[in-house]
Each structure stands twice: as C-alpha cells, then as structure tokens.
C-alpha cells in the first residue's frame, strides 16, 4: 500500500499558513496520505467515505472531522451527492489557538484519541458554519489578510466547541464550582432547559446559588440564562430563515411576549429589526 506524504508547503503556501478548499462529489477522492499539517473537513451536503488509520467510516452532512498531523487518511466517493469544505493549516496554529484562548482548549484531547475527533452540528449550526466559510472564502482574492483572520477565527471556534479544557482555571475571584457551572450552562443543551437544569448541575441550594450569582456576576441565575438564550436567538436570526416564533421556542422561551421583552432589553431592538439590520451586513 503506497502512502503519499504531503508537507505544509504543498498544501498551505498560498495562504501563508491556512488554506481553504471546496470540493464536490466528483473531486472528493484521494489516495491514502499523511502530512505534517492539520486539517478540518466539514460535510455541508451528502456524505463521503473517509479512510482513516486503516479503517473506513461514513461521514455525513453536519459532521466536522479533525485530522491530526501524521494521521493516514483518504477519501472515497460513497455514490451520494456531496459537498465538503477543507481547512488545512500548519500545526503551529494549534498552539496559537490554545494560547489565544488562554489554554482553555485541550490539545491533549485533540492528539490522543486513536480515531480523529468529530464534532456534530445541528441544522442551524451547519448553516451558520457554511455561511461563515463561504463569506471568508469570498474575500480570499480581494482581502486575503482579512479572509485569513476570519478563517483563523473559524478554526478557533471549532476547536473551542470540540476541545474545551476540563481543568481550566476559574476567573479571578470566582469559586471553581461556580466557574465550572457557568461553563456547563453555556452549552446549548443546558441553557435551553433553563433554571431547573442549572439547579440540577449546581452543588448548592437555590438560595445560595442566587446569592453567589448576584455577588460574583452581578445578575441572577435567570438573567444569566436569559442572556445566553437571547444571544443564541440573535445568531439564529442572522443565520437562518426560521420564523421568530420558532426561534423563540428553539431558544428556550415558551412565551413569545417574554422573548420580545428580553430581546429588546439586551439588544435595544425588536428581533425583526435586529434581523433586518444584521442581515444587511452578513448576506453577500
């Protein structure tokens, strides 16, 4: 079995450290190879066969696969229609990501598993990532420096989503348990469930929890959760065509009037006006 070896300069020289490729079903095939750089590939539509370290796996739409330097892999056509984005970058970018994120990204979790790590995206997250990549790719010629910065941010966000550092240091003056609780509540599957989920995860009574939030964060647990929900809803307003009622429900609000009130409290605009203003800036 012949394995090709690709070096950084073979893949990423054009873009000074990071390269973006968009591949279709007709071109998502390659010989087995390894390389001295890292990759992230994202299936936007359909599926492919991914041959990795002696095994084969089917990768489907919405999955992001992280390829480490020295992984041996290749692609085969599954027969289904497919669209894939590939981001290749020098391994030094990983250390820069970890440093930039103040070591809240676990490189050990990236390098240690036998199989390449995978991040699962829902439909909204998939659409948002596709738009961000397309938007950055559209700037490659006219504004390569700005496009490179945007691609770096995409890589950082994906790593932060998949490899959060478990043993991170709490913020100054913040009890470790409260800092960990806040980190857990920033996960969508937790803040959507609301206050009762926070109380399940907390190691104290509701009264003590409320006092700690007021003293350390200057807001109540409910205000903290509502802010997370509203920020998530704001992202959906920009990157999806869902109706506002649906977005409110998907963000954890059972009452539309309450959603409108909380949204205007944080963004000083109604959801509809906010969507119109923001989409003027982000839609090509």
Residue 171: per-residue pLDDT: 62
With respect to residue 169, please indicate whether it lies within any of the assigned structural domains. no
User: Which of 139, 162, 185 is where one domain is finished?
Assistant: 162
Q: Which of 162, 190, 207 is the last residue of a domain?
A: 162
For residue 100, the 8-state DSSP code is H
Confidence label for 166 from pLDDT (cuts 50, 70 and 90): low
Which residue's entry shows tokens 């020098």? 90
Number of domains, the chain: 2
Q: How many CB atoms lie within 10 A of CB 260?
A: 16
Strand residues in the chain grouped as ranges (E):
4-6, 18-24, 33-35, 37-52, 55-60, 63-67, 73-76, 82-90, 118-120
Q: At CA 275, angle to CA 46 and CA 185, rounded to 5?
A: 70
Query: Quick one: 16 and 153 in the same domain?
Result: yes
Task: Please indicate, yes or no, whether residues 147 and 190 belong to a single structural domain of this protein.
Answer: no
Does residue 96 share a domain with residue 186?
A: no
Average pLDDT over residues 229-246: 88
Q: Which of 107, 128, 162 is a domain's end point?
A: 162
> Angle, nearest 10°, between helix axes 123-137 and 221-239?
60
Same domain assignment for residues 148 and 241 = no
Same domain, 183 and 46: no
Q: What is the Cα–Cα distance from 77 to 38, expressed in whole angstroms?
A: 22
**Which tens digit of pLDDT belongs to each residue from 241-252?**
889 999 999 999
Residue 15 vs residues 20, 39, 88, 135: alpha-carbon distances, Å? 8, 14, 10, 16
Does 170 fall in a domain? no
Per residue in 104-143, pLDDT tens?
677 888 888 888 889 988 887 888 888 889 888 888 888 8
> What tokens does 40 get?
């992230």
Taking each helix axis from N to C end, the angle separating 176-185 and 206-217, rounded to the nearest 10 degrees, works out to 90
Q: What is the CATH number of the domain that holds 28?
A: 2.60.120.280
263 & 186 share domain = yes
Q: Are residues 146 and 187 in the same domain?
A: no
- With respect to residue 171, please indicate whether it lies within any of the assigned structural domains: no
Lowest-pLDDT range of 29-38, 59-68, 128-137, 194-203 = 29-38
Burial label, 180 (beta-carbon count in 10 A; 0-12, 13-18, 19+) = middle
Same domain, 103 and 232: no
Pair 118, 215 in one domain = no
Q: Look-up: residue for tokens 């509701």?
A: 206
Give CA 81 to chain center in angstroms. Answer: 24
Q: Which residue has the higher pLDDT, 4 or 2?
A: 4
Q: Are residues 130 and 36 in the same domain?
A: yes
Higher pLDDT, 279 or 213: 213
Q: Are residues 154 and 220 in the same domain?
A: no
Angstrom distances, CA of residue 127 to CA of 88, 132, 146, 210: 21, 9, 22, 36
- Note the pTM of the prediction, 2 decimals: 0.61
Contact partners, residue 247, CB within 8 Å, separation at least 6: 233, 236, 237, 240, 271
User: Which structural domain, as residue segments, surrounds residue 16?
Assistant: 4-162
Dihedral sign, Cα of residue 237, residue 184, residue 262, residue 264: negative
> In terms of domains, do 155 and 15 share one?
yes
């Amino acid at each position: 079995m012949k394995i090709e070896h690709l070096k950084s300069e073979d893949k990423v020289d054009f873009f000074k450290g990071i390269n973006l490729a968009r591949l279709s079903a007709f071109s998502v095939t390659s010989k087995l190879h390894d390389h001295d750089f890292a990759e992230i590939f994202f299936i936007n539509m359909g599926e492919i066969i991914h041959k990795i370290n002696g095994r084969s796996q089917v990768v489907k739409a919405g999955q992001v696969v992280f390829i480490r330097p020295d992984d041996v892999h290749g692609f085969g056509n599954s027969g289904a229609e497919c669209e894939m984005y590939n981001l290749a970058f020098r391994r030094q970018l990983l250390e820069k990501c970890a440093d930039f994120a103040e070591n809240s990204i676990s490189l050990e979790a990236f390098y240690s598993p036998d199989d390449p790590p995978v991040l699962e995206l829902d439909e909204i997250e998939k659409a948002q990532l596709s738009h961000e990549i397309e938007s950055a790719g559209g700037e490659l010629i006219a504004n390569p420096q700005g496009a490179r910065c945007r691609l770096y941010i995409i890589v950082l966000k994906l790593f932060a989503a998949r490899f959060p550092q478990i043993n991170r240091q709490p913020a100054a003056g913040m009890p470790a348990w409260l800092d960990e609780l806040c980190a857990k509540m920033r996960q969508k599957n937790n803040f959507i469930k609301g206050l009762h989920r926070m109380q399940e995860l907390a190691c104290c009574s509701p009264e003590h929890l409320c006092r700690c939030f007021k003293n350390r964060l200057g807001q109540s647990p409910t205000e903290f959760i509502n802010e997370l929900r509203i920020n998530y809803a704001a992202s959906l307003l920009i990157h999806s065509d869902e109706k506002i009622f649906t977005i409110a429900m998907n963000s954890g609000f059972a009452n539309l009037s309450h959603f409108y009130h909380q949204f205007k409290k944080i963004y000083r605009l109604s959801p509809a006006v906010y969507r119109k203003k923001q989409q003027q800036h982000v839609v090509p």
